Amino acid sequence: MSLYWQIFFVFAKIGTFTIGGGYAMLPLIQREVVDRKQWISKDDFVDMIAVSQTVPGILAVNIAIFTGHKLKNNTGSIVATLGAVLPSFLIILAIAMFFRQFMDNIWVQKMFNAIRPAVVALIAVPVFTTAKTVGVNIKTAVIPIASAFLIWYWGVSPVYIILIAGLGGLVYGRIKKTDN
């Protein structure tokens, strides 16, 4: 099987069986692309996550684009993207066509309520594995925890948090530079 088909099927499998969006897909993408296929190193994968979060678009699609490009340039990007989005698109299309009939069904509502905790767990796993990979500890977790608290509890705009964190990083970098 050609590498193009392998890329397509890896991302199609992930796109078909993952509920919860891009963050829920991260552990599956890591397992397939980094651990099983070894197409990308763990460090490169962490970098891809960071870059994928900063560019516009869907996280999982951005990672598919970067993975495909790393393996087979622009054509690989297209193949990986199609693999990631086509299953979801077809599933959503089928649901949209038939969901009206089942919208008020108590069993369907219970099923969606039961899936929610699993989605939270799927999102939490990449957060902890990525934090472990990049060496986050209690000392380095203070700023993100404080930022989340400021946004959630006091309603501080994330823009201000980013600006303050950027200035703090700049000052910290200057202090470290003068210490060396």
User: pTM of the full predicted structure?
Assistant: 0.61
Q: What are the sequence ranges of the domains in the chain?
A: 3-136, 137-180
DSSP H helix total and E strand total for the chain: 7, 0
CA–CA dist 133, 129 (Å, integer): 6
CA–CA dist 88, 15 (Å, integer): 6
From first to last of its 180 residues, what are the pLDDT tens digits of the chain? 799 999 999 999 988 877 767 778 888 899 999 999 999 999 899 999 889 888 888 888 999 999 999 999 999 999 999 999 998 889 888 877 877 777 778 888 888 888 888 878 877 877 787 788 778 888 888 888 899 899 989 999 989 998 998 898 899 888 888 877
